[in-house]
Amino acid sequence: MTVGSFIPASYNTYDFKERDEEEFATKRPGLAFAIALLSIWLALGINMPAFAQTTGNLTDPYAITSLPAYYGFTKTVTITNQGQAPALNVVSHIVLLPPATPYAHVTLTGYSTMPDSTFRDQYGNLIGVYQWPDILPGHSVTLTFTYQDTSENIAYRLPSEYPPYNQASAIYREYTNPRLEAQAVNTDAPAIRALVNQLTHGLTNPYQRAQILFNWVAQNIQYNYSLKASGSALATLKSRLGICSDIADLYVSMLRTDGIPARFVGGYVTNNGDGQGGFHQWTEFYLPRVGWVVADPTWGRFGYFAALQDDWHIPLYDGIRSDISVHWQYAKSGTTRPYLTIGYHYHFSTEQSPPVTKSLALPVSGSFPTVSLHHTRLGFWAMLRIDARRWVAALDSYWIRLKLAIENL
């Protein structure tokens, strides 16, 4: 599985598409005209009407927000089979929306293809599940998502004292346990433990401890303008150099080592201070009876502890995870194998005010789905079932598009 390459999107239709259209129209003759109209609409690339699915407003009594800015952006995902055999039973998980925050309100206003189902992962991200019976060699599938965002400056009016953490709570166990995190975070590593103990020894106030750790990172870790990642919290601590993800790794590692729940936020900043935008990673830490508080240690020298002093931060997903993943299978009898790559591209723009949007429907599944392993060989009967599902999936796809078109005429 390959993720994260920023390449332009392209689309190739499947060979069985025209046969599926014809058979579907025959079985539903009363809708044949509507289908023909919809086919022309899609072929001409006319945009579907706007819908909206949102992170929701998160009301935080401790947060003070101001100076909202409005953005529109588009995410294009292209999955391409660069191998020499069909990829079968392709399943892709794509982050549709991050959890709600008091400093950003992200709305999914439209999509080119409705997901087959959705679910919330352990970090609170809304995940869209997409499935295809196959992707042929040299072919691609493309998904496009449109969004609106309102981002604001944020500061906090926080209490001076805090009760102890409930160490049995789900948040504490999830966000302080080194066995549940990516290897690069290095929570409880001896070198990090020694530094944290030195900095926060004798202190009980979690806000003060978090601020001391933040200040140490801001004063001692330099940004690597060559954009070469150090790769882990320990490597960043040793070299005193890193990019935003490295600096976030180190700060989260120090917080968790000190018993303060902490998590990552992956997103985009539309301005880095020099008028340039780019992908970015920052952090949030958890205070008892308060909740999650934002901090950006990469920009720590400019006062970004328990504050975002700009309206540039747009969260895209929470936690250490791939925001796009793909799993697939292939036939046992084949001598060649498929090889899928993921290309994704974001385009951001600044707007004067948020547009009026309609309500967007998404299929929802409450349980965390099981994911098949990629690179799995299939026998004859499994291949036969795939052929049948291929036809059913094509019919379902056109039926969903037809319903959406009729509902928005």
In percent, the amount of the chain with pLDDT more than 90 equals 55
Cα 132 from Cα 266, distance rounded (Å): 28
| CA neighbours closer than 13 Å in the CB half-sphere of residue 68 | 14
Give the per-residue pLDDT at 140.
96
- 23 pLDDT above the threshold of 90: no
What average pLDDT score do residues 60-79 get? 92
CA 212 from centroid of its chain's CA atoms: 30
> Is residue 298 over pLDDT 90?
yes
Q: What is the dihedral of CA 16, 22, 25, 29, to 10 degrees?
A: -160
CA distance 172 to 167: 6
Q: Are strands 140-156 and 117-120 parallel, antiparallel or unpaired?
A: unpaired
The DSSP secondary structure of 64-103, one letter per residue, reads EEEEEEEEEEEEEEEEEE-SSS-EEEEEEEEEEEPPP-SS
**What is the mean predicted confidence (pLDDT) over 4-27?**
25
Question: What pLDDT sits at residue 398?
Answer: 54
Residue 73: closest CA among 177, 135, 144, 155: 144
- Closest to 314 (Cα-Cα) out of 75, 118, 120, 128: 75
Considering only 53-62, 108-117, 163-172, 330-339, which range has the smallest mean pLDDT? 53-62
**In the prediction, which pLDDT does 405 show?**
56
257: pLDDT strictly greater than 50: yes
> Which has the higher per-residue pLDDT, 22 or 35?
35
Structural domain boundaries in the chain? 2-153+330-407, 160-305
In contact, 77 and 88? CB cutoff 8 Å? no
Of the given ranges (52-61, 117-126, 143-152, 187-196), which has the lowest mean pLDDT?
52-61
pLDDT of residue 50: 37
- pLDDT for res 389: 56
Assign 16 a pLDDT band (cuts: 50, 70, 90): very low
Check the CA dihedral 44-49-54-59 and report its sign.
positive
Residue-level pLDDT at 335: 75
* Inter-residue contact 95 to 315 (CB < 8 Å): no
pLDDT band at 49 (very low <50, low <70, confident <90, very high): very low
CA dihedral 78, 83, 89, 93 (to 10 degrees): -30
Check residue 304 and give its pLDDT.
94
Residues sharing a CB contact under 8 Å with residue 337, sequence separation 6 or more, in sequence order: 83, 84, 85, 330, 375
Helix axes 206-220, 190-200, angle to 10 degrees: 120
Q: State how far the Cα of 367 lies from the Cα of 121, in Å rounded to an integer.
A: 9
CA distance 124 to 266: 13
Q: Has residue 38 got a pLDDT over 50?
A: no
Q: What is the mean pLDDT of residues 64-90?
A: 93
Q: For residue range 340-352, what is the model confidence (pLDDT) as tens digits?
A: 999 989 999 888 7
State residue 366's pLDDT score. Answer: 37
Q: Please, which pLDDT band fits residue 363 given cuts at 50, 70 and 90?
A: low
pTM listed for this prediction: 0.74
Least confident of 5-19, 55-69, 157-171: 5-19
pLDDT per residue over 131-167, tens digit each? 999 999 999 999 999 999 999 999 999 999 999 999 9
- Give dist(CA 121, CA 83) in Å, integer: 30
Domain 160-305: which CATH number of 3.40.720.10, 2.40.50.1070, 3.40.50.170, 3.10.620.30: 3.10.620.30
> Per-residue confidence at 5, pLDDT binned at 50, 70, 90?
very low
| Helix H or strand E encompassing 110 | strand 104-111
Where do the DSSP E strands lie in 256-306? 262-269, 278-287, 291-295
**Closest of 244, 251, 266 to residue 318, by C-alpha:** 266
Sequence-distant (6+) residues with CB within 8 A of 374 are 1, 326, 327, 328, 329, 340
Task: Of 192, 156, 172, 159, give the one whose Cα is nearest residue 260.
Answer: 172
Q: Give the alpha-carbon dihedral of 400, 403, 407, 409, to 10 degrees.
A: 100
Least confident of 130-134, 256-260, 324-328: 324-328
Specify burial of residue 99 (Cβ count, 10 A radius: 0-12, 13-18, 19+): buried
Q: Residue 347 and residue 144: Cα distance in Å, rounded?
A: 11
Q: What is the overall mean pLDDT for the chain?
A: 78
Higher pLDDT, 230 or 360: 230
Q: H-helix or E-strand containing 329?
A: strand 324-331
